[in-house]
Structure 1
Amino acid sequence: MKIAIDSYCFHRYFGEIYPDLEKSPLAKMNLLECVQLCTAFGIEGISIESFMLDSPNQQDIQQLKQLLTQHQLELVWAWGHPSGLYSGQKPDMLQDLYRHIEIAQALGAKVMRICAGGRKTRPQTDWQSHKDALVQLLQQAVLYAEQFDLVLALENHVDFYADEIVDLIQSIDSPYLGICLDTANNLRMLEDPWQAIEKMLPYAKATHIKDVTAYQGDPKNFAFWPSVPAGRGLIPLEKTLKWLAKHDYQGLLAVEIDYLHPDYLQNGTEHQAIQDSIDYLKLLRNIFTTTVRSSINEEDRHYWCRCHG
């Protein structure tokens, strides 16, 4: 497991502002500056939101790849902000997804996070109709990704209940499709967070490690559930990381902060909340990987004793 940042933590610096909830920062940044800033947090990987590299050309891709190589960062390329395939309503978006599969491969990514939709595109129809609109599109995306030996990780993007996204993954049944597990998004859909996470964990190929808390207003609204530093909210991150360590998850643990609780903004920035989250994840990783190794060693010792009397 590698500790990482999802570049969406810095969405405000790219003009992505939640209306009435956030303010624009004093200055903006470009993607190379963002990646350089992320390296200062002591990370081992990064998930990069593709919208932050608008209409990339070959030179842009080469510069980014050089920076990632320089800092030895494992990459997850992230496509689909904010609405991906629009819950199956815009099949023409497949062409853009294909283009980003090629960009991901050029950058050296082994996993690409994708979105089938978002909280604003989830249809009011029954699940079967929603599923039918997506299955064919996702099957085509998977076949294209397979040509590049690239795994697609479908995010639970406040457009799926846990059972629904698992149903999709099982129905397509390909080693080139898994889940980008966002630890908080299903609480925002009023599902029990651990029950939702536990269902999705076996299919995790990437993660957004996000913690949220209850704030004010209506729980059905996004604003009720602001992000907080990892370990300070309602999401069972200890149980999540313990499961991942036990099952030898090899992907990124990517901290993601979207709308940050106002109490955690320091000097108008998210920096301290990000650093606190990374430090917390490193602590948990060290605890659980050591525990797992000790458990395996103990099992080996008992096996040796049985064999050798």
Structure 2
Amino acid sequence: MKIGIDSYCYHRLFGEVYDIQERPEKEITFEEFLDKATSLKVDGLSLESCFIPKFNDEYLRGIKSSLDNQNYDRVYAWGHPDGLEGGSNEKAFDEMIEHIEYADKIGAKVMRVVGSSHPFRFEPHGPQLEKLTEMFTKAVAVSQKYGIKLAIENHIDYNSDEILQLIQQVDSPYFGVNFDSGNFLRVLDDPIQAMEKLAPHVFATHIKDLKPTTSQPANQWCYFACVPTGEGLVNNQKLAQILSDHQYEGFLAVEVDFLHPDYKNQEEEVVAQSVQTLRKLTESITVTR
């Protein structure tokens, strides 16, 4: 199984610094991120659109050329931080449609999308899912013209039953899941049970490992903080095995958001260690076809 990283691993270094984090001495450019990925010798990249500095044709062609030269699998990731805001943001919908073309220009066949996020988690979900079904049905009609699959991420908003409901209601082979192993835990949904429900629909992944931290209140999303793969609560080996059993063709993308205080400002080391652990982890997967 292929291993990759999501560019959000380096959000602090890109300049997106949470209130509870320290600003880096020097910010990195998108090109410097690509160099870091090359040094890790990964198979795929998930590229957050919020860190792509320009969207003109020339720049996007340059990104595609760089990815092609490294033979990277790729996912174009749209929607940070709040995506469609539970279906309430029509302007964001128009932006998402626009970014389908950008995804095509860098050669991505999967585009991660965000329907909501944790600020909207405690609002009624029924009306949100109804509106999101309408929005994603329209979006899929566009994306399939480009041969691009849309993959909704559980963005600390919906549980696996609700994600599955949304997939079934959109009812398209071009609409599935960007499975975030940590974010299901953050909504107190068992990641293994979630994967057993959603594995046939997974187009992309965010592989997180989390453990609680006493530095944040238990009712905050960052209470479950990121640690290197294999050192937290998430059984990512079991998740990878379930994906393999369902003939998953994408890559396992390491993602780090809020680092556990034990690893303060060590995102580069945590990412490198996680990539190495995932490589070892996947060696033990039983492949059945």
Question: Which TM-score applies when normalising by structure 2?
Answer: 0.95
Q: Which amino acid aligns with 1:7?
A: S
Q: Residue in 1 aligned with 2:269?
A: 272
Structure 1 residue 24 displacement after superposition: 1.2
Q: Which amino acid aligns with 2:210?
A: V
Q: Residue in 1 aligned with 2:49?
A: 50
How many Å separate the matches in 2 of 1:194 and 1:23?
Answer: 33
Q: Residue in 2 aligned with 1:229?
A: 228
Q: What SS does the aligned partner of 1:241 have?
A: helix
Q: Contact 1:189/1:220 (CA < 8 Å) preserved in 2?
A: no
Q: Residue in 1 aligned with 2:13?
A: 13
Q: What SS does the aligned partner of 1:40 have?
A: helix
Q: What SS does the aligned partner of 1:77 have?
A: strand
% identity of equivalent residues: 38
Q: Residue in 1 aligned with 2:176?
A: 178
2:129 to 121, 125, 131: 131
Q: Which entry has the higher C-alpha Rg, 1 or 2?
A: 1
Q: What SS does the aligned partner of 1:34 have?
A: helix
Q: Residue in 2 aligned with 1:37?
A: 36
Q: Residue in 1 aligned with 2:152?
A: 154
* Number of residue pairs matched by the alignment: 288
Q: What is the CA deviation profile of residues 52-71 of structure 1, one whole-angstrom value per residue up to 9, with x for unaligned ones?
A: 01342122112211111111
Q: Residue in 2 aligned with 1:292?
A: 287
Q: Contact 2:5/2:45 (CA < 8 Å) preserved in 1?
A: yes
Q: Which amino acid aligns with 1:73?
A: Y
Q: What SS does the aligned partner of 1:207 have?
A: strand
Q: Which amino acid aligns with 2:227?
A: V
Q: What SS does the aligned partner of 1:248 have?
A: coil
Q: Contact 1:87/1:123 (CA < 8 Å) preserved in 2?
A: no
How many Å separate the matches in 2 of 1:117 and 1:54?
Answer: 24
How many Å separate the matches in 1 of 2:191 and 2:207?
Answer: 13
How many Å separate the matches in 2 of 1:262 and 1:220?
Answer: 17
Structure 1 residue 223 displacement after superposition: 2.6
Structure 1 residue 231 displacement after superposition: 0.9
Q: Residue in 1 aligned with 2:94?
A: 95
Q: CA RMSD in A?
A: 1.4
Q: Contact 1:190/1:220 (CA < 8 Å) preserved in 2?
A: no
How many Å separate the matches in 1 of 2:90 and 2:270?
Answer: 38
Q: Residue in 1 aligned with 2:4?
A: 4
Structure 1 residue 123 displacement after superposition: 5.0
Q: Which amino acid aligns with 2:191?
A: P
Q: In structure 1, list runs of 5 or more residues that go unmatched.
A: 297-309
Q: Contact 1:123/1:130 (CA < 8 Å) preserved in 2?
A: no
Compare 56-65 and 6-15 and name the one that shifted more.
Answer: 56-65
Q: Residue in 2 aligned with 1:197?
A: 195
Q: Contact 2:30/2:53 (CA < 8 Å) preserved in 1?
A: no
Compare 176-185 and 269-278 and name the one that shifted more.
Answer: 269-278
Q: What is the CA deviation profile of residues 251-287 of structure 1, one whole-angstrom value per residue up to 9, with x for unaligned ones?
A: 021000001112124xx43111111111111112122
- Equivalent residue runs for 1:293-308 within 5 Å: none
Structure 1 residue 168 displacement after superposition: 0.2
Structure 1 residue 13 displacement after superposition: 1.7
Q: Residue in 2 aligned with 1:304?
A: none
How many Å separate the matches in 1 of 2:99 and 2:254?
Answer: 22
